[in-house]
Amino acid sequence: MELKDKLLSSFMVFEDRVHDQSENLNGIRNEAIKMFQDKGFPSKKDEDWKYTSLNAILKHDYSISPQQETAIEFKEVKKYFIHDIDTYKIVFIDGKYSSFLSETTHDGIDVCLMSSALNKPKYKIIVDSYYNNAAQKDHSLTSLNTAFASEGAYIHIPKNKVVEKPIQIIHFSTGNEASVMLQPRNLIVVDENSHVQIIERHQSLTSNVVLTNSVTEIFANKRAIVDYYKIQNDNQHASLIDNTYVSQKQSSHASVHTFSFGGKLIRNNLQFLQKGEYIDSTMKGITIIGDKQHVDHNTLVHHIEPNCESHQDYKGIFGDRSTGVFNGKVVVEKEAQKTNAFQANNNILVDDKATINTKPQLEIFADDVKCSHGCTIGQLDKDALFYLRSRGIPEKEAKALLMYAFANNVLESVKINAIKTRINKLIAQKLGVNLGFDL
């Protein structure tokens, strides 16, 4: 059976199981599955999917709702956490919540589970006002997630709270099924003047096939500050479609940093909606891949009101036969005067067989704006390489230093030092060097 048909028939079973939940939610699910049924999985005929084919990853016979619960010892997976600082943790194993590995809270803020939020009356007001309001309704993969969504992270920060500890959301898959499809759903609502930092990671622990189709909705209300970090360093059998929607109100600052080093195929759909004035949106990324890996960044910033800014900076280093895609769209509506929108996408192709397709798209309807964009594709600078080697630094290490120098400025806006250190280590590991100091 085709995956699409399997999903459609599974939906009926799933619907029976969750039918006691709110009517509102059932309505949302039914609409979503219809949308998915109409649209199906995207193909290369869709302009947005021209350079990313899902064919190879859709042909597996995925288990859609794994039932078996698995326990993992913390020491086995400690390395996947940012463990040198104190954090809240929301951890899932094969899509199921692991209370053992998690550290949630209801003390002034809610850092807990989507399943609770969807079922318990005390979360109803927030869920009704925010759930599925930022997600793109006519997006087939997002709709697919919406239809099946039942678990994930739920974070609500009431107004005037600075959350001191970052929150880690980690999804493990254990390989209990030969191949598994996971569809986590996260809702993050940050009220006026509040500040939160979130780290997200998906990690497969075996070589079984995993496909994750994740949806995260982030709401930053007036003057809120939200910093979101995605660490994508999964193994070669795991693929990730990440759909993240950020909806911002007046004077809020939101940033998403995406570090893509691993996985078979990664597609990041990242959208920012600016619903107010004086909003600042930042999206940055470092992609370093090799083998036959594929990473696709598809971004959208929608400038709707005046006096807002957006900053995009994506750096990519592609080795072997790896392929990269960057498709960055900036829309500036007629009312959005005095918009400052910056976009940069710089790439280095380390090997002849690596490819990158990069396409900036600017749609500007206002006349008093500052918008800039630039894409570059190049190779490592030979003179720079000679400079390093002439100091006694071997070729491999010299190349690594240059690649690091190339990607480095993306790390400057990372506010958590422990993340910077971790990313530096992952970069050194990815480049296969030990330079004797932390980059």
Task: Using CB under 8 A, list all residues that contact other proteins.
Answer: 381-384, 386-395, 397-398, 401-402, 404-405, 408-409, 411, 435-437, 439
Of 14 and 404, the one with the shorter C-beta distance to other proteins is: 404
Cβ(149)–Cβ(114) under 8 Å?
Answer: yes
Cβ(176)–Cβ(70) under 8 Å?
Answer: yes
Rounded to a whole number of angstroms, the minimum distance from the CB of residue 157 to other proteins is: 33
H or E element at residue 203: strand 195-204
| CB count in 10 Å sphere of residue 13 | 10
H or E element at residue 384: helix 382-389
Rounded to a whole number of angstroms, the minimum distance from the CB of residue 382 to other proteins is: 6
| CB count in 10 Å sphere of residue 327 | 22
Give CA–CA dist 288/99, Å, rounded: 33
Rounded to a whole number of angstroms, the minimum distance from the CB of residue 427 to other proteins is: 10
Give CA–CA dist 90/99, Å, rounded: 8
Rounded to a whole number of angstroms, the minimum distance from the CB of residue 125 to other proteins is: 46
Rounded to a whole number of angstroms, the minimum distance from the CB of residue 378 to other proteins is: 15
Of 334 and 425, the one with the shorter C-beta distance to other proteins is: 425
Cβ(337)–Cβ(306) under 8 Å?
Answer: yes
Of 270 and 401, the one with the shorter C-beta distance to other proteins is: 401
Burial class (CB in 10 A: 0-12, 13-18, 19+), 307: middle
Rounded to a whole number of angstroms, the minimum distance from the CB of residue 343 to other proteins is: 20
Burial class (CB in 10 A: 0-12, 13-18, 19+), 231: buried
Give CA–CA dist 354/332, Å, rounded: 33
Of 88 and 406, the one with the shorter C-beta distance to other proteins is: 406
Rounded to a whole number of angstroms, the minimum distance from the CB of residue 85 to other proteins is: 22
Percent helix, strand, coil in the chain (nearest 5)? 25, 40, 35
SS3 call for 418 = helix
Structure token digits, residue 220: 């930053």
SS3 call for 275 = strand
Of 74 and 386, the one with the shorter C-beta distance to other proteins is: 386
Rounded to a whole number of angstroms, the minimum distance from the CB of residue 328 to other proteins is: 23
Cβ(320)–Cβ(326) under 8 Å?
Answer: no
Of 321 and 389, the one with the shorter C-beta distance to other proteins is: 389
Rounded to a whole number of angstroms, the minimum distance from the CB of residue 401 to other proteins is: 6
Of 27 and 394, the one with the shorter C-beta distance to other proteins is: 394
Of 362 and 426, the one with the shorter C-beta distance to other proteins is: 426
Rounded to a whole number of angstroms, the minimum distance from the CB of residue 417 to other proteins is: 15
Give CA–CA dist 224/71, Å, rounded: 37
Give CA–CA dist 160/221, Å, rounded: 11
Give CA–CA dist 392/255, Å, rounded: 40
Give CA–CA dist 167/423, Å, rounded: 17
List the one residue out of 361, 297, 359, 366 whose CA is nearest residue 330: 361
Of 20 and 438, the one with the shorter C-beta distance to other proteins is: 438
Of 238 and 402, the one with the shorter C-beta distance to other proteins is: 402
Rounded to a whole number of angstroms, the minimum distance from the CB of residue 385 to other proteins is: 9
Of 28 and 286, the one with the shorter C-beta distance to other proteins is: 286
